[in-house]
Chain A
């Protein structure tokens, strides 16, 4: 079967750096997405990786290794507003999106 694994919950300190990992096993690969979802709100798009390497976008970076079926989302200079769930999703060979259950990130002052 297809599955996406990511930690259920993580805690980090304001101003610090946190890395959220995502491993996947899917039938084929056509890109990996990271979404942010604040409590009670809709998921919003953060980043997209289709080739190996690091994609940087301000305080957020996303890394992909297709050979290892692995990605991470790196958040720098954490702010309280970064407290949210972070969802990893992979598009498989049928262009279906397979979603992880999300990682709830708690930022402490």
Chain B
């Protein structure tokens, strides 16, 4: 399966600043997904990053707050802008892969996540 490198693994940020999270995949993929995981809550999809086009954002997430870049088929960045304590969360990058099983399911492979704490 794909190997995803994500950095930073964790950071402590000041209110009002912005932080960019990088995600590198060891193979070319069409779509890359950015998720947020807040303590005790389910994974929430922020946006889907496609190479060569604008990212597609889910309800409740906007480009001004979470700008995304996708310069090639192996790399993407997510910026968390003008951070507030409510943005403290784990941010996960993921890609979709075929399992190779008879069911034909596509499953998600995740990066190790970036744990952001906003003071």
Contact = CB atoms under 8 A, between A and B. Distances in A.
B107 interface: yes
Interface residues of A, number: 21
Given A42-B111, A42-B113, A43-B110, A50 B105 contact: yes
Nearest to A102: B42
B42 A99 contact: yes
B99 to A, nearest CB: 7
Given A48-B99, A48-B107, A43 B42 contact: no
A33 interface: yes
B109 interface: yes
Contacts of B111: 42
A19 B111 CA distance: 28
Contacts of A43: 43, 92, 108, 110
Interface string B89-119: 0001000000101010101111111010000
A45 B108 contact: yes
Contacts of B101: 48
B105 A31 contact: yes
Q: Which of B42, B101, B109 has the most CB of A within 10 A?
A: B42
Given A41-B112, A48-B99, A48-B101, A33 B107 contact: yes
A107 interface: no
Given A42-B111, A43-B110, A48 B103 contact: yes
A101 interface: yes
A42 B43 contact: no
Interface string A28-71: 00010101000011111100101000000000000000000000
A102 B41 CA distance: 8
A31 to B, nearest CB: 6
B78 to A, nearest CB: 15
Give the 6 A-B residue pairs with the shortest CB-CB distance, closest first. A42-B110, A99-B42, A48-B105, A99-B43, A45-B107, A101-B42
Given A31-B105, A42-B4, A96-B45, 13 more contacts: A8-B40, A31-B103, A41-B112, A42-B92, A43-B92, A44-B110, A48-B99, A48-B105, A50-B105, A99-B42, A99-B43, A101-B40, A101-B41
